[in-house]
């Protein structure tokens, strides 16, 4: 995007945004970076990066303490879907975060697919035989009989290190209290976390929230096919409720975990 830096400069100069969240190479790694109009010369370091971080989540976190700021982000289609989810769950106000668009989206929720960070990986024979090929479509997975599917998922879940990387990177995980840290639900002090409860709790909480960005799977150090799991959840949500997550600002949040009082953020975070 040749005029990316010029556009960001204009946005900052004109006050369209006060802060722009993009990427900067730091010690060889493209990392999220906040550019502002007091340091415009730093824009020479702004880069388009194959690395992906939930910039919209970082933006929402900044807005939680500085609600009057106007924030811009470098964003792909998944970032836009996440912004829609954050808005319908009242975590941000629509329009508080402007997106400077990068064309990139590997998700079936969108038509084009050129996300370099999600090129097919190759897996060893054990994973392919006993576990799950992460790039498998949900329909392919369903061709296995129920027992085989169950065993394959158990194999994948028992690798979990309970590092919470999947939750922490997720752009639509915004609960103040996380069920995955609730001692009544997830026993403390053990690895792997109770199989399959830990992952089913997260899967249920992603119903109507997961925007299929794949960041959780990218972050998972043991390659659990989390994206496939949440894609299946999304399919069920669409089949049962006709709800397509993140595609619109007009839809109310999907609540399958009970109702909260208006404006209250419950343990599952949905203000409904
Ligand atoms: S794909 Fe993973 S990180 Fe992305 S929204 Fe869904 S659960 Fe969160
Ligand atoms: S990122 Fe992977 S290993 Fe870490 S808690 Fe999530 S599923 Fe488990």
Q: Are residues 140 and 234 in the same domain?
A: yes
- Distance from C-alpha of 3 to C-alpha of 46, rounded to nearest angstrom: 11
What torsion do the CA atoms of 32, 246, 134, 105 make, to the nearest 10 degrees? -60
> Which residues, 6 or more positions from 205, have their beta carbon under 8 angstroms from its beta carbon?
173, 175, 179, 257, 268
Judgement on whether residues 163 and 133 belong to the same structural domain of the protein: yes
Report DSSP state, residue 263: T
- 233 Cβ closer than 6 Å to some ligand 1 atom: no
d(CA 193, CA 16): 46
Name the average pLDDT for the chain. Answer: 87
Same domain, 141 and 188: yes
Classify residue 99 as exposed, middle or buried by CB count within 10 Å of its CB (0-12, 13-18, 19+): middle
Same domain, 90 and 147: no
Q: Contact 36/60 with Cβ under 8 angstroms?
A: no
CA distance 138 to 149: 11
pLDDT at position 271:
27
| Ligand 1 center–CA 123 separation, angstroms | 22
What pLDDT digit, counting tens, does each position of 52-70 carry?
A: 899 999 999 999 999 999 9
How many domains are there within the chain? Answer: 2
156 shares its domain with 218: yes
**pTM more than 0.85:** yes
Q: How far apart are CA 164 and CA 181, in angstroms?
A: 10
With respect to residue 113, please indicate whether it lies within any of the assigned structural domains.
no
Q: How confident is the model at residue 121 (pLDDT cuts 50, 70, 90)?
A: confident
Considering the domain architecture, whether residues 79 and 144 belong to the same structural domain is answered as no
DSSP letters for 213-253:
--HHHHH-TT---HHHHHHHHHHHHHHHH---TTS-SSSPP
Is 124 found in the same domain as 95? no
Asked, for residue 216, whether it belongs to a domain, the answer is yes
Residue 266 lies in a domain: no
Whether 227 and 125 map to the same domain: the answer is yes
How remote is the CA of residue 56 from the centroid of ligand 2, in Å? 22
Give the DSSP per-residue string, 9-44.
HHHHHTTS-SEEEEEEEETTEEEEEEEEGGGGGGGG
Establish if 51 belongs to a structural domain.
Answer: yes
pLDDT, tens digit, 9 for 90 and up, residues 188-226: 888 999 899 999 999 999 999 999 988 999 899 999 999
Whether 255 maps to a domain, the answer reads no
230 and 128 inside one domain: yes
Tell me which residue range forms the domain holding 146. Answer: 120-241
Asked if 156 and 227 count as a contact pair (C-beta separation under 8 A), the reply is: no
Q: Please check whether residues 237 and 135 belong to one and the same domain.
A: yes
* 170 within ligand 1 shell (Cβ under 6 A): yes
- 222 CA distance to ligand 1 middle (Å): 16
At residue 262 the predicted structure's pLDDT band, cuts being 50, 70 and 90, is very low
């Amino acid at each position: 995007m040749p005029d990316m830096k010029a556009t960001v400069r204009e946005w900052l100069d004109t006050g369209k945004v006060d802060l722009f969240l993009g990427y900067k190479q730091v010690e060889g790694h493209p990392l999220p970076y906040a550019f502002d109009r007091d340091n415009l010369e730093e824009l020479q370091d702004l880069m388009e990066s194959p690395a992906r971080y939930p910039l919209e989540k970082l933006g929402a976190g900044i807005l939680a303490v500085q609600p009057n700021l106007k924030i811009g982000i470098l964003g792909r289609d998944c970032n836009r879907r996440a912004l829609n989810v954050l808005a319908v769950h009242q975590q941000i106000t629509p329009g508080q975060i402007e997106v400077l668009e990068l064309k990139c989206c590997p998700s079936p929720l969108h038509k084009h697919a050129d996300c370099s960070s999600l090129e097919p990986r190759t897996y060893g024979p054990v994973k392919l035989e006993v576990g799950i090929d992460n790039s498998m479509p949900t329909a392919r997975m369903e061709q296995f009989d129920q027992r085989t599917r169950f065993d394959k998922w158990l194999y994948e879940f028992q690798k979990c290190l309970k590092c919470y990387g999947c939750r922490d990177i997720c752009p639509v995980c915004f609960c103040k209290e996380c069920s995955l840290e609730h001692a009544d639900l997830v026993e403390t002090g053990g690895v792997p976390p109770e199989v399959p409860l830990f992952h089913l709790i997260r899967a249920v909480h992603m119903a109507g929230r997961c925007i299929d960005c794949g960041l959780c799977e990218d972050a998972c150090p043991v390659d659990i096919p989390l994206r496939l799991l949440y894609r299946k959840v999304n399919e069920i949500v669409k089949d049962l409720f006709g709800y397509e997550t993140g595609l619109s600002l007009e839809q109310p949040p999907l609540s399958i975990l009970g109702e909260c009082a208006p404006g209250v953020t419950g343990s599952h975070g949905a203000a409904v």
